[in-house]
């Protein structure tokens, strides 16, 4: 595997899940595979789960790991070509990427949407420069439009908790948040669920429709309560305006309607659903305390499975070096 952004990059999901459960059963089974191989994990943005779980995954495989926080200790990087670099950015990504690639075998990049230009974000401008100029396998640790390690971990978690005799109904619901957040998590969750053996719908206020690149022809259900009926899994997430139906409002907060927060009354509409969120989560904005603390909450299990999804991805990348 030379890049990892989409479910198509990992191929058949049943095979990937089988590999995930093999690793979960014995996470050191491939501890010699990464001997004398180095993973470079580059963070343009903050992280807790991704930072720790991806390092742990690399260690599971016997790799060396280098972590670089671009905004703490490295030169500030210019990412646009053609810019007169007379500001605070000392180095261009076009030199920095090939330099960094000298020191590693596989590169992970975290870089959020900037909301300055929808085209730049939706063409993954920064991640693409790593793919084009590093000559190394590159995986997204959440980039402008996708968070595939999270979606793969969520799929593993659903597989572990689903009833085995029927397809689960998985409902992703928009929920309120005070700040503008990227669409990476909902884009990837939708894309992976649509490729998986589940029935998937999503619900959001008008203006929050996701890009067809990730949801195909699937339209949202605008009535949240109707969408939640008979859900087996409720996946809550905030995202800002994707700009599909309102391009001029890309990246804006269009609603802070607190009636969309997932509380017990919402969960009572479901088929005793499990509650999911990728974390970090703002309690009593996205989800009420009692729902996230309930025995049906899977948020810690999802985070634990981040180690497993990252181990599978790094293993696949090492195998193609
Ligand atoms: N879910 C997730 O990616 O968490 P971090 O932002 O803490 O890495």
SS (H, E, C) the chain: CCEECCHHHHCCHHHHHHHHHHHHHCCCCCCCCCCCCEEEEEECCCCCHHHHHHHHHHHHCCCEEEEEECCCCCCCEECCCCCCCCCCCCEEHHHHHHHHHCCCCEEEEECCCCCCCHHHHHCCHHHHHHHHHHCCCEEECCCCCCCHHHHHHHHHHHHHHCCCCCCCEEEEEECCCCCCCCCHHHHHHHHHHHHCCCEEEEECCCCCCCCHHHHCCCCCECCHHHHHCCCCEEEEECCCCCCCCCHHHCCCCCCCCHHHCECHHHHCCCCCCEEECCCCCCECCCECHHHHCCCCECHHHHHHHHHHHHHHHHHHHHHCC
Please indicate whether residue 50, judged by its CB atom, sits closer than 6 Å to ligand 1. Answer: yes
Among 48-57, 65-74, 156-165, 275-284, the range scoring the smallest mean pLDDT is: 65-74
CA 184–ligand 1 middle distance (angstroms): 11
CA 149–ligand 1 middle distance (angstroms): 10
The reported pLDDT for the residue numbered 98 is 97
Q: Whose CA is nearest to atom 4 of ligand 1?
A: 49
The reported pLDDT for the residue numbered 265 is 98
| Residue from 43, 46, 49, 238 to probe ligand 1 pocket by mutation (most atoms less than 8 Å from CB) | 49
Counting from 1 in the atom list of ligand 1, the atom nearest the Cα of 142 is 3
Q: Work out the pLDDT band at 298, boundaries 50, 70, 90.
A: very high
Counting from 1 in the atom list of ligand 1, the atom nearest the Cα of 46 is 6
Please indicate whether residue 279, judged by its CB atom, sits closer than 6 Å to ligand 1. Answer: yes
| Average pLDDT value for residue range 126-140 | 97
The reported pLDDT for the residue numbered 57 is 98
pLDDT above 70 covers a percentage of the chain that reads 100
| Average pLDDT value for residue range 240-267 | 97
pLDDT for 145-193, tens place per residue?
Answer: 999 999 999 999 999 999 999 999 999 999 999 999 999 999 999 999 9
Please indicate whether residue 110, judged by its CB atom, sits closer than 6 Å to ligand 1. Answer: no
| Average pLDDT value for residue range 226-234 | 98
The answer, yes or no, to whether residue 73 has pLDDT greater than 90, is no
The answer, yes or no, to whether residue 45 has pLDDT greater than 90, is yes
| Average pLDDT value for residue range 94-100 | 97
Q: Work out the pLDDT band at 200, boundaries 50, 70, 90.
A: very high
The reported pLDDT for the residue numbered 71 is 85
| Average pLDDT value for residue range 34-63 | 98
CA 165–ligand 1 middle distance (angstroms): 32
């Amino acid at each position: 595997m030379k890049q990892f952004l989409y479910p198509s990059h990992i191929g058949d999901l049943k095979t990937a899940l089988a590999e995930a459960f093999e690793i979960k059963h014995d996470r050191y089974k491939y501890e010699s595979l990464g001997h004398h191989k180095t993973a470079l994990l580059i963070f343009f943005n903050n992280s807790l789960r991704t930072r720790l779980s991806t390092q742990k995954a690399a260690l599971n495989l016997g790799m060396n790991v280098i972590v670089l926080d671009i905004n703490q200790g490295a030169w500030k990087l210019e990412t646009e070509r053609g810019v007169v670099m007379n500001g605070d950015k000392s180095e261009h990504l076009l030199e920095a990427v090939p330099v960094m690639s000298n020191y590693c075998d596989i590169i992970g990049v975290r870089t959020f949407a900037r909301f300055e230009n929808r085209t730049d974000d939706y063409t993954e401008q920064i991640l693409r420069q790593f793919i084009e100029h590093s000559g190394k396998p590159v995986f997204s640790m959440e980039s402008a439009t996708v968070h595939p390690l999270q979606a793969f971990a969520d799929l593993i978690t659903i597989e572990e908790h689903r009833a085995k005799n029927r397809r689960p109904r998985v409902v992703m619901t928009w929920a309120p948040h005070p700040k503008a957040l990227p669409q990476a998590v909902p884009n990837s969750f939708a894309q992976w669920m649509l490729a998986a053996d589940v029935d998937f719908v999503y619900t959001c206020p008008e203006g929050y429709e996701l890009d067809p690149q990730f949801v195909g022809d699937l339209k949202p259900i605008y009535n949240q309560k109707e969408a939640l009926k008979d859900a087996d899994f409720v996946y809550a997430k905030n995202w800002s305006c994707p700009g599909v139906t309102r391009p001029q409002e890309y990246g804006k907060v269009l609603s802070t309607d607190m009636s969309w927060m997932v509380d017990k009354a919402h969960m009572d509409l479901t088929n005793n659903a499990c509650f999911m969120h990728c974390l970090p989560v703002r309690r009593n904005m996205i989800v009420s305390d009692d729902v996230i603390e309930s025995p049906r909450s899977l948020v810690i299990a999802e985070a634990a499975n981040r180690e497993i999804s990252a181990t599978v991805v790094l293993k696949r990348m090492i195998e193609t070096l």
